[in-house]
Structures are given as structure tokens and as C-alpha cells.
Amino acid sequence: KEWLAEAAIWTPWRYRGKLFATKPSDLLTVEASSFAQAVSIHPKPVTIARRYGSKFVNALNSQTANGWSDVFRDEGFFNTAMLDCDRQAKASDDDDSWSDSDDHLNGFYTNGEDGND
């Protein structure tokens, strides 16, 4: 499976070219601000999303700009990042660190909005 322009959720992404499918495909669009609003309903999903997004941006930044593509290809990244986020979430469950405050919204990328409205 491949994801097209996932970077647009985590960064102010500029598309790199045109897309042509070589076989039947499905396309689902997700607005960054809508995604941020949906996961921000509870601190646990937004915390996991922020952790994953941070890992994604670090992986993207480890590439040269010439290597950037709308289709992020790093075979080991997705499994490793999700496993790390899952472990961190389980550890947070154990210490019951989730709260009902809006602090979990700070710093989440929402296409120019800071989530502090």
C-alpha cells in the first residue's frame, strides 16, 4: 500500500508533480484541519498522531529536498513508527497520563491554525 501526499497532513506541503495510476486505485482525500479536529476530540488519539507526525517529519527531513516525492517511500518507516507510537501509548495508559485539558492541542499542525482557538 502507498499513501499519496501524506506530508500534506503534517507539513505545509507543496505537491511535486502529476499523479497517474498504473492500475485501478482508490483515492481518499483528508483535509489536514479536519483530521486535526477529528483526532483532537480526545487527548490519546491526538497525542499518538502528534508522535507519528513528528516521526514522519523527521524521516522526511532526513532526505534531501531532491528526493522528496508526493509518495513517501520508506519500507521500514511506517511499521517502526506505528510500533513506537503504540508502545508509547500503552506506556501512557499504564501511568494514566491522559488528561481532559486542551493542552494536547498545542503544536498540532492544522494548516496554519494552532489549535488554540
Alpha carbon distances (Å) from 102 to 30, 47, 98: 23, 11, 11
In sequence order, what are the residues at sequence separation of 6 or more whose Cβ sits closer than 8 angstroms to the Cβ of residue 73?
2
pLDDT digits (tens, 9 = 90+) for 58-86: 988 988 888 888 988 777 888 888 888 88
Mean pLDDT computed over every residue of the chain: 78
Domain-wise residue ranges, the chain? 7-105
| pTM (whole model) above 0.75 | no
Between 18-32, 36-50, 91-105, the lowest mean confidence (pLDDT) is in 91-105
Where do we find the cell 480526545? 42
Q: In this predicted model, which residue has the larger pLDDT, 101 or 59?
A: 59
